[in-house]
Structure 1
Amino acid sequence: MRPAHPRVVLGLHRSRYQRSLLTNALDLGIDAIDTSFNYRGFTAHETLVRVAGDVLPHLMLSTKVGYFPGPSASEHSLDPARLRAALEQTNRDLGRPPDLVFLHNPEASLADATEGSADALARAFALLADATAQGLCRAWGVASWNPRPLAALTLHRAPQPSVLMVRAGLLVGSDTLTADEALAMRWELAQEALWGMSPFGGSVHDPVWKAVDPRLFLQDPTGGLTRLQAAFRTAYCLPRVSTLAVGSDNPAHLRQLLNAVDCEVNDVVVQQYRGLLRDRARRQRA
């Protein structure tokens, strides 16, 4: 089977939420954005409509629910009533149903791999499936920063998500990659349904990107890409995803990343690296 062509989604986690950011992305060929109910102090949706309401109809919009305002800080919950209320508010704020809604980091409310945790997750899944059927969103999925607790749970007769978004890239550990792949297999998700996020581990300024040369993972390490471009392209393989959500307020940076997606990755080197990660994880557990 031919792998999906790498796709880029503009992530808005730390964005300035300016109209020009979205129009520049469209000009570059990026036609999807990813935000969340809790971003920008729980004002992300209404801010998007206020600053770029005329642009949003041209974009596929994904968002997330799971975090809520608390007494002193945001708090996580899998309570179906709160998730439903967040979806309803999302529809009101956006003026339309989002194209995709992720259950945001469900592991944050899972204490352990118990039947109670499995039941709580199953109820949240059922709520999102019902909300999709009722038109509050067009599809639903799971976005998980740490998928290992999810992979440890066994869900019986629960609806299954249609998309899974996880951390991707050279800084993701072996156990996390294994959990990613276990969830994708359990939910029978093809590569086209797998999204990656945070391909630079949170910052392009991390010293690791000067100390390590990710161009070693490309078929042509001397092909003219920068280290950051190579790290971005390689992130599609760790784990294997079809889509990467990446945030940037800099059109030139986005253009550089887009210029990297057609480069070929050396799968042999990627598998060798996975082996090194597994060996390191075993030593840490020993």
Structure 2
Amino acid sequence: MTATLALGTYRITGEELAAAARRAASSSGGWIDTAPNYCHGRAHRLLAPVLAESPRVGIATKTGFLTEATARSAHAAGVIPNTKIRHSLSPEYVRWQTERSRTELGRNPDVMFVHNPERQQAELHTQLRAAFTALEEAVHAGHLSSYGVATWSGFQEKAFTIQQLDRLATEAAGGDHHLRVIQLPVSLVMDGHFTEALHGTGPITAATELGWDVHASAPLHGGELPHLATPEIAELISPGAEIAAACLSAVASCPGVSKVLLATCDPTHWSDALAATRAEVSRDMLRTVLDVLATSD
């Protein structure tokens, strides 16, 4: 079974965001991924009308990064020590940002991700435990359904493992916790965790074994992959498919991946991506493709 397509909003700006979100909301199992620092700090407010129109669409946001304006507001609220801070995992900030996100979105997020925690080098696990404690409080208050960790390089850099995150969340919750999802890059370029998943190892497999969801970010490597891959690779993955579609089919077929996040404001691209993520690629073929790519490096 392949993963479902979800809208990633990192690379979408301005009024195009609302139109893209409406397309995502109208899709089966619609899901939108955003963050308070996206779209120059405007993402939440631009998405709010769409969420009001489509209360069943899932919404994930994040806590961690601050824009300059957010830093001024957070400092005025007494939750960060100065306005120069651009990333924080402090429980005071996490609580403040969670409430701010609820207000700006006009509803409770389904998931709150701790955003790129690997940026915090000092006592990272202590900071994560404290952030998880604040998020557990939000879940118990009915303000979140669950929370997760969205990372770019944390697993690759061994800043943490799935087992460590599970332990820290258990310590934060004092028992059963609500850390239920991870987000990480999965593509034919950043293919390390992809390859591990095909061999039953790595963070994707470990998260799946705990019953967590796995959201794949940057499946087209920021739009670069269609220019990096070859027609021959696309033909191998999905005969007759365009390069971008074949690459999306591959990521959607990665074992353990439950959602594929794609940032596009083009209606045709979205429609093509929906079809691509429904086309399943066998594990044997995925292994062959990744072996071919490894050989060509």
Report if aligned partners of 1:193, 1:242 keep a CA contact under 8 Å in 2: yes
Determine the structure 1 residue equivalent to 2:22: 23
Determine the structure 1 residue equivalent to 2:234: 214
Q: 1:117-150 CA deviation, whole Å, 9 max, x = no partner?
A: 2222222222222211112211111111112322
SS at 1:129's partner residue?
helix
Report if aligned partners of 2:252, 2:280 keep a CA contact under 8 Å in 1: no
1:55 CA drift (Å) = 2.4
1:197 CA drift (Å) = 1.0
Q: TM-score, normalised by structure 2?
A: 0.77
Query: Which ranges in structure 2 are unaligned for 5 or more consecutive residues?
Result: 72-82, 171-176
Q: Does 1:151 pair with 2:161?
A: yes
Report if aligned partners of 1:99, 1:138 keep a CA contact under 8 Å in 2: yes
Q: 1:37-91 CA deviation, whole Å, 9 max, x = no partner?
A: 2112222112222x53542424211111111235787722111111111001011
SS at 1:158's partner residue?
helix
Q: 2: CA distance between counterparts of 1:279 and 1:79?
A: 44
1:198 CA drift (Å) = 0.8
Determine the structure 1 residue equivalent to 2:174: none
1:248 CA drift (Å) = 0.6
Q: In 2 relative to 1, CA 82–189 (structure 1 residues): closer, same or farther, beyond 3 Å?
A: farther
1:33 CA drift (Å) = 0.9
1:229 CA drift (Å) = 0.6
Q: In 2 relative to 1, CA 212–172 (structure 1 residues): closer, same or farther, beyond 3 Å?
A: farther
Q: 2: CA distance between counterparts of 1:41 and 1:74?
A: 16
Identity, % of aligned positions: 24
Say which of 117, 126, 131 aligns to 1:124: 131
Determine the structure 2 residue equivalent to 1:248: 264
Q: Does 1:198 pair with 2:198?
A: no
Report if aligned partners of 2:237, 2:289 keep a CA contact under 8 Å in 1: no
Say which of 177, 181, 189 aligns to 1:163: 181
1:207 CA drift (Å) = 2.5
Report if aligned partners of 1:118, 1:153 keep a CA contact under 8 Å in 2: no
Report if aligned partners of 1:168, 1:239 keep a CA contact under 8 Å in 2: no
SS at 1:20's partner residue?
helix
Determine the structure 2 residue equivalent to 1:40: 39
1:216 CA drift (Å) = 1.1
1:239 CA drift (Å) = 6.1
Q: In 2 relative to 1, CA 53–277 (structure 1 residues): closer, same or farther, beyond 3 Å?
A: closer
Q: 2: CA distance between counterparts of 1:182 and 1:55?
A: 39
Determine the structure 2 residue equivalent to 1:284: none
Determine the structure 2 residue equivalent to 1:6: 3
Q: In 2 relative to 1, CA 82–257 (structure 1 residues): closer, same or farther, beyond 3 Å?
A: same
Report if aligned partners of 1:13, 1:39 keep a CA contact under 8 Å in 2: yes
Further displaced range: 161-170 or 30-39 = 30-39
Q: 2: CA distance between counterparts of 1:7 and 1:78?
A: 30
Query: Which ranges in structure 1 are unaligned for 5 or more consecutive residues?
Result: 282-286
Q: TM-score, normalised by structure 1?
A: 0.80
Which residue type is aligned with residue 263 of structure 2? Answer: G
Q: Does 1:96 pair with 2:107?
A: yes
Q: 2: CA distance between counterparts of 1:30 and 1:203?
A: 24
Further displaced range: 257-266 or 6-15 = 257-266
Determine the structure 1 residue equivalent to 2:190: 172
Q: 2: CA distance between counterparts of 1:271 and 1:176?
A: 10
Report if aligned partners of 1:162, 1:189 keep a CA contact under 8 Å in 2: no
Q: In 2 relative to 1, CA 140–175 (structure 1 residues): closer, same or farther, beyond 3 Å?
A: closer
SS at 1:63's partner residue?
strand
Count of equivalent residues: 269
RMSD of aligned alpha carbons: 3.2
SS at 1:234's partner residue?
helix
Q: In 2 relative to 1, CA 279–117 (structure 1 residues): closer, same or farther, beyond 3 Å?
A: farther
Which residue type is aligned with residue 105 of structure 2? Answer: L
Q: Does 1:136 pair with 2:154?
A: no
Q: 2: CA distance between counterparts of 1:120 and 1:176?
A: 28
Report if aligned partners of 2:4, 2:259 keep a CA contact under 8 Å in 1: yes
Q: In 2 relative to 1, CA 205–144 (structure 1 residues): closer, same or farther, beyond 3 Å?
A: closer
